[in-house]
Amino acid sequence: DAMVIQNPRYQVTQFGKPVTLSCSQTLNHNVMYWYQQKSSQAPKLLFHYYDKDFNNEADTPDNFQSRRPNTSFCFLDIRSPGLGDAAMYLCATSRDPGSSVTQYFGPGTRLLVL
């Protein structure tokens, strides 16, 4: 029944050591999003894909990259994690970017940077 799946659920990495977070979806949705959420804060959109079209938010640091090799999968790469990158990373999907469309969220990956 899982629709948006994120792996791993918890990730521990070292300062400066690259890390990749994974998201997959069984909904066949065209749009996939990555959000960063720090404790007691609202989610912050990092980027999204509309099909293969990549859209980077203006204030997303260059340290964050993303790949979408096919409709079902999307990856978040953090090239050199800093202590400030410790957060919950949420993946979401929507059928299309239409104004009335709901986003479906995965359970999140909690990243800890040592």
Partner 1 sequence: KQEVTQIPAALSVPEGENLVLNCSFTDSAIYNLQWFRQDPGKGLTSLLLIQSSQREQTSGRLNASLDKSSGRSTLYIAASQPGDSATYLCAVRQKDSNYQLIWGAGTKLIIKP
What token pair was written down for 83? 């202590």
Whether the CB-CB separation of 80 and 18 falls below 8 Å is answered with yes
Q: Per-residue contact track with partner 1, 5 to 34, x per CB under 8 A?
A: -x------------------------x-x-
Given a contact cutoff of 8 angstroms between Cβ atoms, the answer to whether 7 and 20 are in contact is no
Instruction: Give the nearest distance from C-beta 16 to partner 1 in angstroms.
Output: 26
Query: Residue 18 or residue 64: which is nearer to partner 1 going by CB?
Result: 64
Task: Pick between residue 50 and residue 75 the one whose CB is nearest to partner 1.
Answer: 50
Identity of the residue, 77 or 96, whose beta carbon is nearer to partner 1 in the bound complex:
96
Question: Among 21, 48, 64, 87, which residue sits at the site for partner 1 (rule: CB under 8 A)?
Answer: 48
SS3 state at 86: coil
Whole-number Å distance between alpha carbons of 110 and 114: 13
State the minimum distance, in angstroms, from the CB of residue 105 to partner 1.
4
In DSSP terms, which residues pair with 41 in a beta bridge?
none
| 39 contributes a contact to partner 1 by CB under 8 A | no
Residue 58: φ, ψ to 5°: -60, -35
